[in-house]
Amino acid sequence: MPTIICPPEWAPQSGVMLTWPHAHSDWRGALDLVEPVFVELVQQISLHEKLLISCWDDAHLAHVKTRLSLADADMDNVLLHAAPSNDTWVRDHGPITVLENGVPRLLNFTFNGWGNKFDATLDNQLTQRLHELKSFNDTKLQTIDFVLEGGSIEVDGEGTLLTTRRCLMAPTRNPHLSQQQVEATLGGLLGVDRFLWLDHGYLAGDDTDSHIDTLARFCDARTIAYVACDDPKDEHYVELKAMEDELKAFRTREGQPYTLVPLPWPQAKYDDDGHRLPATYANFLIINEVVLVPTYADWADKAALVQIKKCFPQREVIAVSCQPLILQHGSLHCVTMQLPAGVL
Query: Is 106 within 8 Å of 142 (Cβ atoms)?
Result: yes
Instruction: Tell me the CA distances in angstroms from 48 to 13, 24, 35, one per residue in order.
Output: 9, 31, 21
Mean pLDDT across the chain:
97
Q: For a pLDDT cut of 70, what percent of the chain falls above it?
A: 100
Instruction: Tell me the CA distances in angstroms from 295 to 141, 158, 219, 282, 304, one per residue in order.
Output: 35, 30, 18, 11, 8
Q: What backbone torsions phi and psi does residue 125 show, to the nearest 5 degrees?
A: -95, -10
pLDDT reading at 55 higher than 80: yes
Q: How far apart are CA 9 and CA 232, in angstroms?
A: 33
pLDDT reading at 26 higher than 90: yes
pLDDT at 2: 77
Q: How far apart are CA 319 and CA 307, in angstroms?
A: 13
Q: How far apart are CA 32 and CA 25, in angstroms?
A: 14
pLDDT tens digits for 96-145?
Answer: 999 999 999 999 999 999 999 999 999 999 999 999 999 999 999 999 99
Q: How far apart are CA 120 and CA 111, in angstroms?
A: 7
Query: In sequence order, what DSSP letters do the residues of 186-218 get, joined into one string?
Result: HHHHHT--EEEEE-----TT-SSSS-GGGTEEE
Beta-bridge partners for 4: 100
pLDDT tens digits for 60-96?
Answer: 999 999 999 999 999 999 999 999 999 999 999 999 9
Q: How far apart are CA 93 and CA 110, in angstroms?
A: 8
pLDDT at 249: 98
Q: How far apart are CA 306 and CA 197, in angstroms?
A: 28
pLDDT at 152: 98
pLDDT reading at 285 higher than 80: yes
pLDDT tens digits for 207-233?
Answer: 999 999 999 999 999 999 999 999 999
pLDDT tens digits for 139-195?
Answer: 999 999 999 999 999 999 999 999 999 999 999 999 999 999 999 999 999 999 999
Quickly count: other Cβ atoms within 10 Å of residue 116's Cβ.
11
309 CB-contact burial (10 Å; exposed 0-12 / middle 13-18 / buried 19+): middle
Q: What backbone torsions phi and psi does residue 206 show, to the nearest 5 degrees?
A: -80, 130
pLDDT at 160: 98
Q: How far apart are CA 166 and CA 168, in angstroms?
A: 6
Q: How far apart are CA 203 and CA 329, in angstroms?
A: 10
Query: Is 55 within 8 Å of 64 (Cβ atoms)?
Result: yes
- pLDDT-derived band at 40, boundaries 50, 70, 90: very high
pLDDT at 48: 97
Domains parsed from the chain with CATH numbers: 4-340 (3.75.10.10)
pLDDT at 343: 97
Query: Is 337 within 8 Å of 94 (Cβ atoms)?
Result: yes
pLDDT reading at 1 higher than 90: no
